[in-house]
Structure 1
Amino acid sequence: MNSFDSSETAQQLLDAWKAMREGKLKFPPSLQSHADELLAAPLTVTGLVDTKGLSTETVLMAKTLGAALSIQSAEAPKDKAPQPATAINEVQAELFALFSSLFAALICRSVDLVKDEDEIKQRMMWRVKYQPDVFANSVNQAMNELGEFYNHHSANIYQQAQNFGGMKLVTGGQRYFGPSALKAVRITGLYADTQLIPDPIFPFLSSDLNLNAKYLQLAIQLFHILQLRPLVDAKLSVPAVFIFPSFEEVLEQNDAHTKLGFEQLAIRLISPLCHGQIQSLEELSEYSIKQENAFLKALMPSGLFVPPGAEPGIQLSASEAANQYLTELKGTRALHSLDQMKRMPIGALLLNGVLERLRPQYHLFENSSELGAQALLSQPVHWHYFEKIAQANARDLRSRNVISDQALQTLHAVQDDSLSWLANIPVTTLAQLISNSEHQWLREELNRYTSQLASIGPIDTNEMIKEVSHGLASLVQRQRKSLKDIESKYTPKKAAILTGGFLGAGLVASAVMLPLLSPLLAVGAPAVALAGVASGALIGFGKEKVSEVVEKRHAGKSMLGVLATTRPI
């Protein structure tokens, strides 16, 4: 068992261990025994130095050397010339332009002209088969350009993400940015000020993700994230979305704070399922194998293992859960990695599945804390784990300095399947609504419908969904009434114009056709008069119709108008 007094100690030991292995750090001959001891120390499952076999003297010396290395690395950047600051909006626009270029390099087509993932697969297979050299060169060039951008801007982008005010949310809980995440961002954009989104492309360049068909999965990720480009190109003073590198894979590989923090989270959440005291992932892994029946008997009803593609609450046997887990990974996980997983005992395999669920959740909590933002998730299964982790850590689900319980529950409610129609609002329209601050108006309106529920006490999710649905239905009804009022406003005028104008024209026509009626009507109008009267009526009608159309169009561009157009009847 490791006993670190802090994550700082864990990092110092890891830095010294790595420096020794890489030949960057040498002990004097008199201390060679301590050097050999440190070099012989293995790493734990999470990649920390295993201190079980180290003497106290060796640990103290490694800490001292690690601290010196940390000071040295901290001072190194000071020698570099400061880079000129670039406007936030311009950096984000450049990032999306590079995303677009990389997507085009992958499938030789603009993202705007691509229908779906199936088309991406077909086009990429054709390119790889018939244009392998052109494909490789264009992709490598685009990835190099994007890599240079990350080298220059990634640290600064993360710092900028900490500086936004207003209702600031950070998404996460999953490794990839797919259709569900895109849908959630589009819906939440109707309510929040800024959504901070971990960059789904950065890991492809910074880490080995053990993926099958890596370039295909990269293209699919680009396809979904690029749907948000209108929000970026709008260059709003308060960005509606902001893509930042969360460095998850890099931190998991190199940062002792991340390694130790994740291990502590996993032990706190999973160890209650095990008889006896479990204090490390090694002990937990050993228990899942040696005491497999007891582990699985406790794991399956706990809700801690939910296979990919499944929803919380579905009861599966351990073997069924294992089969679904492996089946869902087929085609996306690297073949060698998938083969290793197939050979694992079921207990160890399902433990691995739980850990894979917890990793992105751990980073979401970390990003929420570091960025001063409210964590937000897009799928019920991710909310499920988020709530379990919060309970295990005795933490609130919400960031109290960012958002109220009422607002968090409202955001949770608008992502319910019954309100999925909200995601049908085009992103270009969403950008226009946000630029006019209509999202703030909607937030205030929905708060009126949910305030009474929030004032009673703890908020039930189902009740909040009902209130939000009722609120949206009421707002839509208000808009439809507004459109009827516009029609009613102009209908009498149009009727008067048409009745007066065309009735007069009709009488004149009768007088012309039947001269005996002229004295009775006191008119002797020629045919020209008929044309004048008729055209005057049409012009009057046209003016009123144009006014009605303009007023309706103006109403239709508001938040109410967009909701009324989008909501199913």
Structure 2
Amino acid sequence: MNSPDDYDSATAQRLLSAWKAMREGKLRFPPSLKHHGDELLAAPLTAIGLVDTKGMSKETLLIAKSFGTALSIQREQTLKEKTAAPSPAMNDVQVKLFALFSSLFSALTGRAVDLVQDKDEIKERMLWRFKHQPDVLANAVNQAAEELGKFYNNHSTNMFQQAKNFGGMRLVTGGQRVFGSSALNGVRITGLYADTQLIPDPIYPLLSSDLHLNAAPLQLAIQLFDILQLRPLVDADLQVPAVFVFPSFEGPLEQNDAHTKLGLERLAIRLIAPICHGQIQSLEELFDYSSKQETAFLDALMPSGLFVPPGGTPGIQLSASDAASQYLKELEGVRSATLLDQMKRTPIGPLLLNGVLERLRPHYHLFENAGELGAQPLLSQPVHWHYFEKIAQANARELRSQNVISDQALQTLRAVQDDSLSWLANIPLTTLAQLISNNEHRWLREELNKYTSQLASAGPIDTNDMIKEVSHGLASLVQRQRKSLKNIEAKYAPKKAAVVAGGIVGAGLVASAVMLPFLSPFLAVGVPAVALTGVAGGALFGFGKEKIGEAVEKRHAGQSMLGVLATARPHQ
């Protein structure tokens, strides 16, 4: 039997499907039921975008649900046909996706991503192209975007299904709508420990939804620049993919899916309603309270830690006016001018409530993706962990997926993302791909577990204590590598000394014979001058062989996980 929540979601979805189909001209009621169709069309939408059934007759409600059910069956059949079609291998699809990303980036900037230094250069190049080559730019971008759109139409559903098939330590990232530098560094670091990271496609929403962005082409190019840094991991063709980019469908779900709309509303009410006086049962009531009881709402909101402005830090309490100012300031140049002007005219109470909801949306989708994909949610910034913990507490959920990861491993993953260990992100992605292909990430996982097992067995794990243990473990591993290099040097030092000493003695005898001819009879040998070159060359050759042997051993040691860590870690 379906739970009430499931029943409500299903009913709401059928009504919304019928309402939208009528609006789009895809559904017509027969003449005998026309008045029911008119009643459905006249129904407004609620604050979360569902059909408001207040005042709707039971007959209209039942008929609309029936039509909605038929539409749902039709949609499910179409989806089955898409997923039933043979799909290419996972890695082939990923390689093609990144090739299309690369083509779109080149169309936007006029340059391959490998030849672009940073985001300032992206901006300069795009401004130049907008000014001097607008038609060339438009044609190139439209063609590349069209090809990527076709790819999404053909493969997006199957890609999401493929993302469910991974085993091992699989993580799904999220907590933010964009894939920026912090997320990229998070992938670099986590790749040293985990098997597979599932990454919501940051480009799909930009092409499938209106995000009300300012300078959308520039933001698209920046997102492409960041996600394309992962290409070495994709092109490595690993047996177990280190990263897998999949479409999360967040925008379409928020617009069209009743389960998502209701889920977001329920999450907001569970988290925010407790700081409000009285009974709050809907998002409309929540906005109404934040406006009409603004002072009481803000007095409770600011110390609760529920509002952290973009770029802000959890635990730092601002006044409501300062928080609103920082919120709007951070959105300058990011949101469209129209939306930003509207937000500036919004009273502080509803404005900050909107800010909280914007924080919650990505986390809702992260939890949903984790459940669908059977993966452990993972975040890359303290502010995202802050909201993740609050949501887990409000929903009475554990922070970890028990069938995927141990608490010890989760706390280790959180620890390696601490600022004190940011040097781990210095490891090049090409090097990371090589380490993963040699299963060095699993070796590191086992080694770090040795350092953290005692802490894990003592009871609940404190994050700060885990950071200390992981830092100590990494420092010890680096020290082990440096000792190993010294042992290699010590191993070859006597051999090189013997070769050099032998060469010096031999060269000395020859030099005596050449420089002092009258000593030749005592040596009982005639030594040609060219012998000096031969002896010296032999000494150098012997020395060279020993030096090469030492260099080879050092190189092998340097290419191991220990060697890479020792190179990346700053000397202290």
> What interval of TM-score do these two structures reach, taking the shorter chain for normalisation?
over 0.9
- The secondary structure found in structure 2 opposite 1:196 is strand
Contact 1:330 1:338 in 2 (8 A): yes
Higher mean C-alpha deviation, range 97-106 or range 22-31: 22-31
Tell me the CA shift for residue 236 of structure 1: 0.8
Task: Note if 1:456 corresponds to 2:458.
Answer: yes
Aligned counterpart, 1:360: 362
Counterpart code for 1:86: P
Residue from 490, 494, 500 that aligns with 1:488: 490
- Aligned ranges for residues 8-87 of structure 1 at < 5 Å? 8-29=10-31, 31-76=33-78, 83-87=85-89
Tell me the CA shift for residue 281 of structure 1: 0.2
Aligned counterpart, 1:567: 569
Which runs of 5 or more structure 2 residues have no equivalent in the other structure?
A: none
Residue from 438, 441, 447 that aligns with 1:436: 438
- Aligned ranges for residues 505-544 of structure 1 at < 5 Å? 505-515=507-517, 517=519, 525-544=527-546
Residue from 259, 262, 283 that aligns with 1:260: 262
Q: Distance in 1 between matches of 2:322 and 2:343?
A: 15
- The secondary structure found in structure 1 opposite 2:404 is coil
Task: Note if 1:121 corresponds to 2:123.
Answer: yes
Q: Distance in 2 between matches of 1:139 and 1:453?
A: 53
Aligned counterpart, 1:141: 143
**Deviation per residue, 1:385-416 (Å, 9 max, x gap):** 00000000000111101000011111101011
Inter-CA distance 397–326: structure 2 relative to 1 (3 Å threshold): same
Task: Note if 1:247 corresponds to 2:244.
Answer: no
Inter-CA distance 94–466: structure 2 relative to 1 (3 Å threshold): same
Residue from 197, 201, 204 that aligns with 2:203: 201
Aligned counterpart, 1:549: 551
Tell me the CA shift for residue 527 of structure 1: 2.7
Tell me the CA shift for residue 33 of structure 1: 4.4
Aligned counterpart, 1:317: 319
**Deviation per residue, 1:441-468 (Å, 9 max, x gap):** 1111111111111110111101111111
Inter-CA distance 533–49: structure 2 relative to 1 (3 Å threshold): same
Q: Distance in 2 between matches of 1:166 and 1:285?
A: 43
Q: Distance in 2 between matches of 1:465 and 1:522?
A: 74
Aligned counterpart, 1:299: 301
- Aligned ranges for residues 330-349 of structure 1 at < 5 Å? 330-349=332-351
Q: Distance in 2 between matches of 1:190 and 1:360?
A: 25
- The secondary structure found in structure 1 opposite 2:554 is helix
Task: Note if 1:424 corresponds to 2:423.
Answer: no
Higher mean C-alpha deviation, range 471-480 or range 69-78: 69-78
Tell me the CA shift for residue 508 of structure 1: 3.0
Tell me the CA shift for residue 18 of structure 1: 1.7
Task: Note if 1:405 corresponds to 2:407.
Answer: yes
Which runs of 5 or more structure 1 residues have no equivalent in the other structure?
A: none
Counterpart code for 1:348: P
**Deviation per residue, 1:28-65 (Å, 9 max, x gap):** 55544443332222111111112232234433332222
Contact 2:82 2:157 in 1 (8 A): no
- The secondary structure found in structure 1 opposite 2:409 is helix
- The secondary structure found in structure 1 opposite 2:245 is strand
Inter-CA distance 301–77: structure 2 relative to 1 (3 Å threshold): closer
**Deviation per residue, 1:202-234 (Å, 9 max, x gap):** 111111110000000000000000001011111
Q: Distance in 1 between matches of 2:26 and 2:540?
A: 90
Contact 1:511 1:523 in 2 (8 A): no
Higher mean C-alpha deviation, range 178-187 or range 535-544: 535-544
Q: Distance in 1 between matches of 2:290 and 2:391?
A: 20
Task: Note if 1:177 corresponds to 2:173.
Answer: no
- The secondary structure found in structure 1 opposite 2:198 is strand
Task: Note if 1:281 corresponds to 2:292.
Answer: no
Tell me the CA shift for residue 375 of structure 1: 0.4
Q: Distance in 2 between matches of 1:196 and 1:22?
A: 35
How many residue pairs match? The answer is 568
Inter-CA distance 290–531: structure 2 relative to 1 (3 Å threshold): same
Aligned counterpart, 1:211: 213
Q: Distance in 2 between matches of 1:430 and 1:165?
A: 20
Q: Distance in 2 between matches of 1:405 and 1:134?
A: 53
Counterpart code for 2:49: G
**Deviation per residue, 1:256-312 (Å, 9 max, x gap):** 010011110011000001100100000000000000000000000000000001111
- The secondary structure found in structure 2 opposite 1:369 is helix
Aligned counterpart, 1:472: 474
Inter-CA distance 27–403: structure 2 relative to 1 (3 Å threshold): same
Q: Distance in 1 between matches of 2:175 and 2:79?
A: 33
Counterpart code for 2:17: D
Contact 1:173 1:361 in 2 (8 A): yes
Tell me the CA shift for residue 525 of structure 1: 3.5
Contact 1:555 1:561 in 2 (8 A): yes
Percent pairwise identity? 78
Aligned counterpart, 2:374: 372
Contact 2:48 2:265 in 1 (8 A): yes
Q: Distance in 2 between matches of 1:253 and 1:261?
A: 13
- The secondary structure found in structure 1 opposite 2:199 is strand
Q: Distance in 1 between matches of 2:341 and 2:79?
A: 43
Tell me the CA shift for residue 523 of structure 1: 5.6
Task: Note if 1:110 corresponds to 2:117.
Answer: no
Inter-CA distance 458–475: structure 2 relative to 1 (3 Å threshold): same
Higher mean C-alpha deviation, range 117-126 or range 71-80: 71-80
Contact 2:321 2:348 in 1 (8 A): yes
**Deviation per residue, 1:465-517 (Å, 9 max, x gap):** 11111111111111111111111111100001111221221133124323555
Q: Distance in 2 between matches of 1:4 and 1:165?
A: 29
TM-score by length of 1: 0.97
Inter-CA distance 76–375: structure 2 relative to 1 (3 Å threshold): closer
**Deviation per residue, 1:309-341 (Å, 9 max, x gap):** 111111110000000000000001001000110
Contact 2:83 2:157 in 1 (8 A): no
Tell me the CA shift for residue 355 of structure 1: 0.3
